[in-house]
A and B are shown apart, each in its own frame.
Chain A
Amino acid sequence: MLGSYRAEMLKLRKRSAVWVLFGAGLVLSLIFGYLLPYLAYTTGDDSPSTEGVPRAEVLRGMLPERVIDNTIGGYPIFAGALALVLGAIVIGGEYTWGTLKTVLTQRPRRGTILGAQFLALGTVIAFWVLGIFVACALCSVGIAAAESGSMTWPSIGALLQGLAGGWLVLMTWCLAGAVLAVAFRNVALPIGLGVVWILGIETLLAGVVSSLLPGLKWLTNTLPGTNAGSLVFSVTTMTPSDAPPGVRDAVGGPRALLTLFAYCALFTALSLWTTRNRDIT
């Protein structure tokens, strides 16, 4: 298992697409979390760019106290889509390159190899979360220093809870990409379907259900995106009015946590079962 894990890490570390996805997630977080708010803060007195939000509020949103909000606020949708792409390219690539047969004829059992792949993906996502957190923390410290804002940090517990929640959200989407890649033995189709689901369908469904079919709310409340958004909402200090797209309090934190765990387990089990029982041609 250790050897397989090291092999998977070597593959991920040397793959430029993995770095590109990470870079995209990082840049997006910084732009939406700090750059745009900071521009709004410095340029606007009471200009329309702040849309009525008091400047003091805008500044507070960028200080260390809110670092977790900015780190994981974009995870349910934007970073989630990137994580899904990661899962799809890593697992789907094995099929499109035909390398799965090379790997599966080495020695380890199929389940061991897929397990090592998922473990390696989990590791990479942990680094993503930490990397984005560190960058956000540096920005918030910089802004706090420049604008003489407060340097209070969230408690260690709140930090850990936020980072772990963020990791789980990304991992769910990553495994969703992986299971789709196993199902279609491909890269492009899972990415297409997955991204359309995350960015479009789920939001659309939630909207339609809440306005036209409130009786079906229980159904949308079981969907992965809804639960990802709810988990992020419950581990941050956001309010429904200042939450970014996708983050909302549809279900409670513990329930969202359990649902995401269930999705991860389901995606893993489906991938494992299929990989172990299917002909590799």
Chain B
Amino acid sequence: MTNGWNDIKNADVVLVMGGNAAEAHTCGFKWVTEAKSGNGAKLIVVDPRFTRTAAVSDLYAPLRPGSDIAFLGGIIHYLLSNEKIFKDYVLAYTNAAFIVKEGFGFEDGLFSGYNAEKRDYDRSSWDYEYDEAGQAKLDPTLENPRCVFNLLKVHYSRYTAEMVEKTCGTPKDLFLKVCELIATTATGAKTLTSLYALGWTQHSKGSQNIRNIAIIQLLLGNMGVPGGGINALRGHSNVQGITDFGLFSNSVPGYLAMPNSKETTLEEYLKTRAFKPIRPDQMSFLQNYRKFFVSFLKAMYGKNATAENQFGFDWLPKVDVNLDTLRQFELMFQGKMNGFICQGFNPLMSVPNRKKLIAGLSKLKYLVVMDPLHTETAHFFENHGEMNDADPAKIATEVFLLPTNCFAEEEGTFTNSGRVIQWHWKAAEPPGQARTDIQIMADLFLRLKALYAKEGGKFPDPIMNVDWSYRNPAKPTADELLREINGRALADLPDPADATKPPIKKAGELMDIFAQLKDDGTTSCANWIYSGCYTEKGNMTARRDPSDPSGKGIHPNWGYAWPANRRILYNRASADPSGKAWNAKKKVIEWNGSRWAGIDVPDFGPLIDPTQKATGPFIMNPEGVGRLFTRGMMREGPFPEHYEPFESPVANPFHTKVQSNPVARVFKGDLEVFGKSEDFPYVATTYRLVEHFHYWTKHAKMNAVLQPELFVEIGEQLAKDKGIASGDMVEVSSNRGRIKAKAVVTKRIRPLVCDGKPVHIVGIPIHWGFIGATKKGFGANQLTPYVGDANTETPEYKAFLVNIKRIGPAA
């Protein structure tokens, strides 16, 4: 979330699309209710199903699963063609005026530079024109036909309301009502907030859904202001934190990148990362990359990281191919993985195509599961009939199930969706012999280290040199780990303004903020964006002062929000170029003549005088402004384009040559099992229920009582066509598998007419498995296709093809 949960109350219009906050983020949704009652806000819900969020909306519009880009593109077209944009903001704070290079183009569904064989683009033409000094060229009059604004207009000119109706099945009148309501926030006086979740990300082009809302929010001037922003409602309690800590194949904590093998030295690695500003006056925050990265290496290797050995740069593994979950299971399936460790993750239920997963896990030598619960993944080798068709006698995988504590039995921090890091306290001991994940990881590491010390082996250097100087190496405490994360001075740090003054930090003292980090090895910090969360004043994440002095939902002394305890990101954009709030009601920070000040921590150089320097508000970007055109950062192109899901009932209405995402990765074997609409005529989509959390609450009795068994949801028309009554048992099949479930016939799902043809939707909730307190149930992943978003590899769970038939009366 760029803003936070409480900030939603400041919105004038709330768009929930790609999520169902009332059910999946229930207690956060109360801030939408608050916006409605306290601020007169209007709620728009766009969803294939009339969800419980839709039930309390002011305006609901249905759309066909997987057609979001067409819908959002239609909104952009509406805003541009009706001049419903916040022009001053767009000119000053976006790259609208930037001139794009000759050579960039778009034709027949493809951008310039496509290589069909590689299914990838040469992205070099997706860039600005630069002058001799390396600065991007602008045309503030917006007359140049190659400036971003005009290219944007041309690109979206095809996304008319008629095309939206044809593609999404959303009636044109209803669609235009949505546009009109959204357009009311184009003036700076009112703001729109966007709330989304997996409904936007679990698509083969999910990232481009988010790009579309980013364009909309920039055109409306809704970034950096109260009640605005783009708010991803994340999944698990600490998925935000674990993402921040870079537990990805190619990441380093704090959104830094793992080096690849071409980057043979630290200098070479840093060369392309610490990019320079491309506008005069710009500060480009990431020029500090070296400080963050060297401080991270110091946290990894401690004393052993020295300037002479490039702070241990060679010890970090080099990543050339991103080994994400889908690729890991693909490699397992090919027999190229030997071991697999799952720490509180149940991939047998959550990765697509169950059959492939069982086959893959069966080829492993060893599988280790660390979990408080008996997960299906740990028990994958068991035979549960059609629900888990495995033959234990034929599976040689050695499996270990290690009991861990649950949240109540451990202290430490979670980071919520609004980036607020909150410490929690331990209430009781874990049951039986269960141990904390920290203890297990430390034990494993120390045992391996001892084995290497004793026996030698392949390249023990990083294992021997990693810094493990915890008070009790076998049981590091959460408290000391959080201090390590925050970072500390390793030598006295002189005052940069005046070296004759006493040092700003003495050796050993904790950092106040990442701005104090150094690139010469005199500071260490595991995750720069968390720096400031545990200072000499104490553990900031344990603060529990609920007060909200401004009344705007900032709560500055409750926990600690990264970065720098800032609650609204990009808040410099809430003021005009001269430093005055665009609108007094939406004021966050202003220039007071000598510094930036207000109700939140400025997301800007606090002393940059806007009357002297035209520094842009988006300081993480070398342009200093928000991007309507993303240069080469997205794999599919610098503007979003509508592509059909890999399994779709219709031909792409926008272009005949390119049906689906042209750069999405499809493995051999997976392509062959995509289904065709002749055999699988209905569109399936998966979703969650308010009573359950993924495959977890099915272990809790109360939740099992509330939602005891799997069902699928279909509309009345489809039920009638197929002779299905509510409560009947049905079989839902895709080209990869079949599931059996009870049918629930509802008015919440209706057929949509796309291109003159009715499209029926089958809703599949995801919460059942073969272990727990509920009835046993099939999983949606027995049906779903094995393809992910081209940028993030998030699997396409929200739109695929199935068939459905009645198999009997209620069982």
Chains A and B come from one and the same complex: no
Enumerate chain A interface residues (CB-CB to B < 8 A).
none
Enumerate chain B interface residues (CB-CB to A < 8 A).
none
